[in-house]
Chains A and B, each alone.
Chain A
Amino acid sequence: MTLMSFPPLFRQRRWLLAALVICALPGVVSAHHSFAIFDQTKTVTIKGVVSRFAWTNPHVAIYVDAPGPPEQQFKIETGSVNALKRTGWKANVIKAGDEAEVTFKPLKNGEPGGLLVEIKIGDTVLTGGG
């Protein structure tokens, strides 16, 4: 499936988000844990399919399966439910199966994951978490 082939349901809800460019407060992330687990000097972009969207506190997490090589699942963390809701996110803004391009600050320990900078799903752009 390419980035352009979104399921009809997503096209219907995309208008809700198309105008949103969202910036969460850095302090919101640091409220729970330090930023220092992420390498703020690097920015990585991957393309893949969302396998799980955890709309949870203390952090929202997006799990993205990237074809690679090597094929990997990335865990992308962002702000709290409370902070993201205030900027327009909802529990259904991202769904398993969504094709996404994700930009993030990688984990310093080299594990596949990081802090969300921006996620693009079609013409929808969501940012958050620093």
Chain B
Amino acid sequence: MKPTRHLTPVALLLGALCMALSATSGATEIAKQKPNISGTWERTPDDWFGEDPDDPVLPGGPMPLKEPYASQYSELKKKQAEANEAGTPLATTSARCLPEGMPTLMAALFPIQIIYDDNNVIVLGEYLQQVRRIILNEPLPPLDELDPVYQGHSRGRWQSDTLVVETRAIRTDVTFYDVPHSEGVKITERIRLTAPDHLQNRVTIEDPQILTKPYEFTFEYKRSDYRIEEYVCENNQIVIDSEGKATLKTD
């Protein structure tokens, strides 16, 4: 029996209808596609870091610190200045080759790469090969069920063209521009394309124990054709003494 014998006008009509529905469905899928945030991203404008690497520009201006944190921060800056003058700067976690953590990873001192599917958004930082996993479409577990980690625990959801991400449980030895945070810190990011090759991340840090009000700032990124490379901190030449001061090995 040849199949063509069953191609009645009704069947042809049904076929055409199916094709039309299929086309409509395809268009719907396209409409559902998320903005293409995949790719390698570098901060912009190029002078975002400021002129002095030892005195970087805070992205949202001075942080509104409560006491005693404001005084402790001022004291730290004074100690840093004295240590810098002496040529023995206070060692940071980076000087120990430890991850930057959140939200510094997203500051993208080195390029970052974003990869995503329906369930995850992965951020790869070239510097120290950091990995951040944002799990989509499920709530964050209660804070006391989360172990503190460098990049925190992140959950995200798409709201129209914007990826909204909440991050909690960041290790308290992670600092942001030398400012500490409490165990209860919450970071909210609103990530969206403002142009095909321009990504914007509006960040809010809420930490009522440390901050008088939420600290808000925006990271802007430009799309890059750079391919992120391996970065293993295998030859750390910094020696840190008992006071936390750093010197360079010369042998």
Report Cα–Cα, A82/B230, bound state, in Å: 8
CB closest residue in chain A, given B126: A82
Contacts of A108 in B (CB 8 A): 86-87
Of A6-14, A32-40, A90-98, the segment with at least 4 beta carbons within 8 Å of chain B is A32-40
Interface size grouping (class) on chain B? 35 or more
Q: In B220-234, which residues have CB < 8 Å from any A CB?
A: 226, 229, 231-234
Of B30-38, B115-123, B184-192, B243-251, the segment with at least 4 beta carbons within 8 Å of chain A is B243-251
Contacts of A80 in B (CB 8 A): 231
A27 touches B236 (CB 8 A): no
B89 touches A37 (CB 8 A): yes
Q: In B58-86, which residues have CB < 8 Å from any A CB?
A: 83-86
Report Cα–Cα, A94/B246, bound state, in Å: 28
Q: Does A109 contact B (CB under 8 A)?
A: yes
Interface size grouping (class) on chain A? 35 or more
B248 touches A77 (CB 8 A): yes
B53 touches A57 (CB 8 A): no
Q: In A83-130, which residues have CB < 8 Å from any B CB?
A: 83, 85-86, 107-109, 111-113, 130
Contacts of A66 in B (CB 8 A): none
Number of A-B contacts (CB under 8 A): 103
**Min distance, Cβ B26 to any Cβ of chain A, angstroms:** 41
Report Cα–Cα, A122/B204, bound state, in Å: 53
Report Cα–Cα, A31/B86, bound state, in Å: 20
**Min distance, Cβ A65 to any Cβ of chain B, angstroms:** 13
CB closest residue in chain A, given B89: A34
B53 touches A37 (CB 8 A): no
**Min distance, Cβ A85 to any Cβ of chain B, angstroms:** 7
* CB within 8 Å for A35 and B250 given contacts A57-B231, A58-B236: no
B87 touches A107 (CB 8 A): yes
**Min distance, Cβ A106 to any Cβ of chain B, angstroms:** 10
Q: In A45-71, which residues have CB < 8 Å from any B CB?
A: 54, 56-59, 61
Q: Does B238 contact A (CB under 8 A)?
A: yes
Contacts of B97 in A (CB 8 A): 32, 58
Contacts of B172 in A (CB 8 A): none
Q: In B100-128, which residues have CB < 8 Å from any A CB?
A: 109-110, 126-127
Q: Which residues of B contact A (CB under 8 A)?
A: 49, 53-54, 56, 83-92, 94-95, 97, 109-110, 126-127, 226, 229, 231-238, 246-251
14 A-B pairs within 8 Å (CB atoms) are namely A32-B94, A33-B89, A34-B89, A34-B92, A34-B246, A37-B246, A57-B231, A59-B237, A77-B237, A81-B231, A82-B126, A86-B226, A107-B87, A111-B248
